[in-house]
Structure 1
Amino acid sequence: MKKYNQSASPSRTASIIALCLLLLSVQLSYAKLSIIPQKAPSSLNLQTVPRGGGWAKAKVATVASSSPSKSTAKQQSSSAITEGLKNTLASGLAAACSKTILAPFDTLKTVQQHVSAAIAALGSMPSVGLYFGVYSYCKKTIGETLQTTFGSMRGDTEHPAVCSDRTLQTLTIIASAAIGNTVASFSRVPYEVVKQSLQTGQYSSTLQAASTMWRDGGMRSFFPLGGVSIQMVRDIPYAIFTLLSYEFIKENWVLKRTEEDPSKRWFFDMVAGATAGGIGSYLTNPMDVIKTRLQTTGGSSKYGGSIVKCAAVVLEEGGPTAFLRGSVPRLMHKIPANGCFFVFYEFFRRALHVE
């Protein structure tokens, strides 16, 4: 195996960028960026809407007619977009911080070899930011739609709620996580392919990897056969398991335990994130084994880009336990990574005044 040598400058670059983004978020928090609600109409209804990690009681101004006005609908859409953009920035900053700190553990999962933190930090920011931005937007819009159609916000005494608020909350998280990860998977694949090529010692630098892969196979090198599909097959269940776990723990444990003493919020956020990440990682490790094989150089041609064929080969090689290969170092990476990520994520959300 090649020894991977790289100067400290990329790591310093990543740290400087993360610091600049941190300062930007602080400046935005002082500017108190938030939507200024329009003046509420005189005839109002107070209803229950999804808010934050769960379904909390909130006073929402709605016209007491059978359908909301165009201005109200436009304001809700603008609010969802703005909250999505704020979550994009918050999650991107959180990803940069957590990836910079814990990049060596991610490398350990693949091949037990060091790789620069800059690659992990800068490469993960676009996909993570896109994922959480879309997730936040969808959770707000889908949640409100389900509530007004099937839940306690129907406003029709003759036709009561079809589903409980808890069931609708679960469906909202599942749908939002699936949509967010579907969009983000396309931007995540090239980063994963280059990162894993570096981790397995095939190239000595990011520039060499990108230039050689482009020369040999063009765009197909960055999107190998089966690469996008297995990325989605792994990431969508991972997102659903992780976010369902995190939202449940946050609502039923974190918020209750920190209501009187918010100064300890960071610790509870870390425990909640670490636990949720561990659950999601372990349950999706079989898909991660297949993803790594398909996305590393030569894997796509060996298995023809087929997830089923790759899974059959893995099963033949080592039986069912072969799908748990790398689970220990993956948990060593994902548990602290999610703990760090959600601490930073919740911090930046509060700094940006995300509701």
Structure 2
Amino acid sequence: MQLLKGIYTGLLPAVLASAPAGAAFFGTYDYLKRVFKQLDPEEKLATFHHMVAAAGGDIAGSAVRVPFEVVKQRLQAGAYTSASQAVKSILASEGVRGLYTGFGSLVIREMPFDLIEFPLYEYLKVVWARHNGDKPLATWQTALCGSAAGGFAAGVTTPLDVVKTRLMLQEQPGKYSGVWDALKKISAEEGVQVLASGIVPRVLWISLGGFIFFGGYEASKQVLSSRIKKQRT
């Protein structure tokens, strides 16, 4: 039981953050996509628009997610025994700002990831659809596009993930003053190779997650779109 408890330490904050953070991200992302579609009906600047939409989604999602992420990281590091204790202690010693420790690094990590993942995902869908005679892609096909895009983005952004974890685990004031300071110190003191720590499992895990995530995302959109059309008719 103790082993299972240790494995699932920090699970509650992660679960609680998932739905609101995801809603904030995709609500912003899809809204901006629609706005850009109206401004550019021929989608000549589609890739750029997808990048901007992803960036906007990141900022909105991170604003919701970071406090939960900080609590999760502190719990997993053994600094606190419960989420409520962690929140109270952080607020008392560091203020609200403490709950947003690593906000900049999370945005900097997530933004490059999503600036790669989402435009690549949208691009792969377009290419596959053209190869398929411009027929709508099946859910499994969009899922494969998401898996490929996610895996590629995961590999490229692994160093930023390492830095984000270091920043969130440190107490205030900490060893690292920011993202670039952490990158320099880790490279100088531990070697550049440390910035690639966990790259293989990260790529594999996010590739699998991308398959499930994007497949579910597109399937959900199709179901909701179908229901909305039925309600309007």
Check if 1:207 corresponds to 2:84: yes
- 1:19 — aligned with what? none
- 1:143 — aligned with what? 37
- 2:49 — aligned with what? 172
Question: Deviation at 1:143?
Answer: 3.0
The 1:334/1:300 distance shift into structure 2, 3 A limit, reads farther
Check if 1:133 corresponds to 2:15: no
Q: Find the partner of 1:223 among 97, 100, 118.
A: 100
Check if 1:291 corresponds to 2:185: no
CA distance in 1, matches of 2:84, 2:204: 29
- 2:183 — aligned with what? 311
User: In 2, are the aligned partners of 1:254 and 1:268 still within 8 Å (CA)?
Assistant: no
The 1:329/1:202 distance shift into structure 2, 3 A limit, reads farther
Query: In the alignment, residue 301 of structure 1 is paired with which amino acid?
Result: G
CA distance in 1, matches of 2:12, 2:133: 34
CA distance in 2, matches of 1:218, 1:190: 12
The 1:5/1:285 distance shift into structure 2, 3 A limit, reads same
CA distance in 2, matches of 1:273, 1:146: 24
- 2:13 — aligned with what? 119
Q: Deviations over 1:224-275 (max 9, x none)?
A: 2xx221112111111110001111122222686597797xx23223222111
Q: Deviations over 1:155-212 (max 9, x none)?
A: xxxxxxxxxx44x111111111112212222222112111212223333332232233
The gaps in structure 2 that reach 5 residues or longer are none
CA distance in 2, matches of 1:118, 1:269: 30
Q: Find the partner of 1:233 among 93, 100, 108.
A: 108
> What is the identity percentage for the equivalent residue pairs of Structure 1 and Structure 2?
28
User: In 2, are the aligned partners of 1:5 and 1:204 still within 8 Å (CA)?
Assistant: no
User: In 1, are the aligned partners of 2:129 and 2:136 still within 8 Å (CA)?
Assistant: no
CA distance in 1, matches of 2:40, 2:130: 24
**What's the TM-score once normalised by structure 1's chain length?**
0.57
Check if 1:338 corresponds to 2:210: yes
Query: In the alignment, residue 239 of structure 1 is paired with which amino acid?
Result: D
Question: Deviation at 1:215?
Answer: 3.1
3-state DSSP class of the match of 1:303? coil
RMSD: 2.8
Question: Deviation at 1:119?
Answer: 3.4
**What's the TM-score once normalised by structure 2's chain length?**
0.84
- 2:174 — aligned with what? 301
* Greater relative contact order structure (CA < 8 Å, 6+ sep): 1
3-state DSSP class of the match of 2:225? coil
Structure index of larger Rg:
1
Question: Deviation at 1:282?
Answer: 1.0
User: In 2, are the aligned partners of 1:242 and 1:277 still within 8 Å (CA)?
Assistant: yes
3-state DSSP class of the match of 2:174? helix
CA distance in 1, matches of 2:214, 2:123: 14
Query: In the alignment, residue 27 of structure 2 is paired with which amino acid?
Result: G
- 2:201 — aligned with what? 329
- 1:5 — aligned with what? 5
The 1:197/1:244 distance shift into structure 2, 3 A limit, reads same
User: In 1, are the aligned partners of 2:14 and 2:69 still within 8 Å (CA)?
Assistant: no
CA distance in 2, matches of 1:219, 1:246: 36
Check if 1:248 corresponds to 2:120: no
The gaps in structure 1 that reach 5 residues or longer are 7-112, 153-164
Question: Deviation at 1:279?
Answer: 1.1
User: In 2, are the aligned partners of 1:294 and 1:300 still within 8 Å (CA)?
Assistant: no
CA distance in 2, matches of 1:261, 1:144: 21
3-state DSSP class of the match of 1:302? coil
Higher helix share: 2
CA distance in 2, matches of 1:115, 1:259: 47
CA distance in 1, matches of 2:130, 2:180: 43
Query: In the alignment, residue 123 of structure 2 is paired with which amino acid?
Result: F
3-state DSSP class of the match of 1:301? coil
